Amino acid sequence: MKQNRIVNLLTERSYGKVVEVSGWVRTRRGSGQLSFLEISDGSSMSNLQVVAEQNLANYQSEVCKLTTGCAVMVIGELIKSPAKGQEIELKAHELTVLGWADPEKYPLQKKRHGFEFLRSITHLRPRTNALAAVARIRSELNFAIHHFFKKQGFFQVHTPLITTSDCEGAGEMFTVTGLAPEKITSNASYANDFFGRRAGLTVSGQLQAEVYAMAMGRVYTFGPTFRAENSNTSRHLAEFWMLEPEIAFCDLAGNISLAEEMVKELISVVLHECTEEIDLFDRFVSKGLRDRLTMTVDNSFVQMTYSEAINELLRAKQKFEYEVEWGVDLQAEHERYLCEEVAQGVLVVTDYPKDIKPFYMRQNDDGKTVAAMDILVPDIGELIGGSQREERYDRLLAAMLESGLDPEDNRWYLDLRRYGSVVHSGYGLGFERFIQYVTGMSNIRDVIPFPRTPGSAPC
């Protein structure tokens, strides 16, 4: 007999059909004669109700002893449910217990647990409604991203995880070494190490994506990135996923348009494909979520320059912890004020001071700012960071030297400006921050299956 997924049984509603289904017991209620089991197989938010009666051979010996978390296989007939609460139920002809879960020990007994507690059982938390819903939305978004870029004529490029260039220049690269732990001494030299020079885990695939954009026009890279950043906040991870398109013959305005179109399409997909999940988050995690997401899709993103943003902050009645003046980097509190109070929605801030942005961003004619863009969203702050790239050889070389980069080590990157250089742009979307935005989950540790943060890497 074919293994069925509950999501299909619930939508197809083939009343009268005898089917086999396997899953985990969410709840059991009943008596010595009759039991109602809520079964989940993870395929959807909704469970399948199984009705088991005392005529089953193992009714008293096993069915009556089933508790939350036990795994079962049921063969039975799909019938129209006579009771309220579900359209369809499965009348069991045969029920096999596949795996017991001792109710004295299994930690997921209560219906609702706090996310902080669930973080202490990373290996069991996907069995809860909320974490499974996050995982389904994450998977849906993953496919939607590839679909969106394929439609737009992009090619996916697999950029390396081990690299010798610190793209963002923030000194947050984890070192990768082939040296045995006892050989790592203060006088050990990278020259004698595996790659012959210092290598690390990538902080961004951008620089390598640029190589392929300069050959194939439109590319994107999407994968894990790593930052040894000691930020213990609800929006930082040491390992997170980043989506980075890189587009030749495209300036900052084109870059912003693509990002806006992409964000809107991805949200629309989730609103259409994950309705039950969005309902759950709207009801229990972030009231009004669906309306806010719909507003994001329906309205144009507000845009302002960094200088305008600073003026807004200087005019604000609110007191900020970090002082505001032209030249400072925007802190989360500033970003949130600008989105929530000024733009009342998504905000694109452009043309940041060059001193607070990486070397590769294109210098504006004022000599003080670069063609950068950050996309900020309420509650989270920075969701996307991007720019037009410096395509002029001399300017790029000067910016590299100013940032303390050795041009010899980055000859390959400079070469892109020596041979057929063109205007080009790109951006990076923090995938987990985007999932936070779409689900309303307040802590980034709850939207990645296995969070890595300072002092913590369970599983």
Q: Which residues bind ligand 4AD (CB under 6 A)?
A: 167-168, 204, 206, 227, 229, 236-237, 240, 242, 244, 382-386, 426-428, 430, 432-433
Contacted entry of Mg ion, ligand 4AD, none for residue 277, CB cut-off 5 to 8 Å set by kind? none
Do 427 and 385 touch, CB atoms closer than 8 A? yes
Bridge partners for 317 per DSSP: none
Task: Pick what 140 binds: ligand 4AD, Mg ion, none; C-beta below 5 to 8 Å, kind-dependent.
Answer: none
Say if residues 259 and 168 touch (Cβ distance below 8 Å). no
- Return residues touching Mg ion (CB under 5 A): 385
Whole-number Å distance between alpha carbons of 207 and 160: 10
436 binds, among ligand 4AD, Mg ion, none (CB under 5 to 8 A by kind): none
On whether the CB atoms of residues 349 and 306 are closer than 8 A, the answer is yes
- 37 residue type, one letter: L
Taking the complex as a whole, the smallest distance from the CB of residue 170 to ligand 4AD amounts, in Å, to 8
CB of 430 to ligand 4AD, least distance (A): 2
For 215-280, the DSSP string reads: HHSEEEEEEEEE------STT--SEEEEEEEEEET--HHHHHHHHHHHHHHHHHHHHHH-HHHHHH
Residue 165 neighbours by CB distance under 10 Å: 20
Report the alpha-carbon distance of residue 421 to residue 415 in Å, rounded: 9
- When CB distances are held under 5 to 8 angstroms depending on the partner's kind, the choice from ligand 4AD, Mg ion, none that residue 383 binds is ligand 4AD
Identify which of residues 119 and 336 has a Cβ nearer to Mg ion in the complex.
336
How far, in Å, CA of 25 to CA of 6, rounded? 13
Of residues 240 and 337, the one with the C-beta less far from ligand 4AD: 240
Task: State the DSSP H helix or E strand holding residue 95, giving kind and residue range, or none if neither.
Answer: strand 88-99
For the chain, count helices (H), then strands (E).
12, 17
In the complex with ligand 4AD, which residue's Cβ is closer, 270 or 380? Answer: 380
Helix, strand or coil, per DSSP, at residue 405: coil
The DSSP-derived string for 317-338 is: SS--SS---TTSPPPHHHHHHI
Name which of 49 and 159 has its Cβ closer to Mg ion.
159
CB of 348 to ligand 4AD, least distance (A): 12
Binding at 199: pick from ligand 4AD, Mg ion, none (beta carbon under 5-8 Å per type): none
Q: Which is nearer to ligand 4AD, 280 or 438 (CB)?
A: 438
CA 433-438-443 angle, to 5 degrees, is 45
- For residue 22, what are the CA distances in angstroms to 5, 53, 148, 454? 8, 18, 34, 39
User: Which residue of this chain has its Cβ atom nearest to Mg ion in the complex?
Assistant: 385
Q: Quick one: which of 148, 351, 149 has its CA closest to 252?
A: 351
Residue 410 contact among ligand 4AD, Mg ion, none, beta carbon within 5 to 8 Å by kind: none
Residues near 134 by Cβ (< 8 Å), separated by ≥ 6? 435, 439, 441, 446, 447
Closest separation between CB of residue 383 and ligand 4AD, Å?
5
The answer to whether 78 touches 9, Cβ cutoff 8 Å, is yes
- Residue 358 CB, nearest approach to Mg ion (Å): 9
Residue 13 or 158 with smaller CB distance to ligand 4AD: 158
Shortest Å distance, C-beta 374 to Mg ion: 6
Binding-site partner at residue 167 among ligand 4AD, Mg ion, none, CB < 5 to 8 Å by type: ligand 4AD
Q: Which is nearer to Mg ion, 281 or 337 (CB)?
A: 337
| Residue among 276, 269, 290, 270 at smallest CA distance from 10 | 276
User: CB of residue 425 vs ligand 4AD: minimum separation in angstroms?
Assistant: 8
**Residue with Cβ nearer ligand 4AD (38 or 168):** 168
Q: Which one, 4 or 453, has the nearer CB to ligand 4AD?
A: 453
Q: Which is nearer to ligand 4AD, 167 or 219 (CB)?
A: 167
Tokens of 47: 């469970």
Supply the minimum distance, in Å, between the C-beta of residue 453 and ligand 4AD: 9
Q: With CB cut-offs between 5 and 8 Å by kind, which of Mg ion, ligand 4AD, none does residue 168 bind?
A: ligand 4AD
Q: How far is the CB of 426 from ligand 4AD (least distance, A)?
A: 5
The partner in contact with residue 89, picked from ligand 4AD, Mg ion, none with C-beta cut-offs of 5 to 8 angstroms by kind, is none
Q: Which is nearer to Mg ion, 260 or 277 (CB)?
A: 260
The CB-of-412 to ligand 4AD minimum distance in angstroms stands at 17
Partner whose binding site includes residue 427, from Mg ion, ligand 4AD, none (CB under 5 to 8 Å by kind) = ligand 4AD
Which secondary structure element, helix H or strand E, spans residue 302, and what is its range? strand 302-305
Give min distance, CB of 454 to ligand 4AD, in A.
11
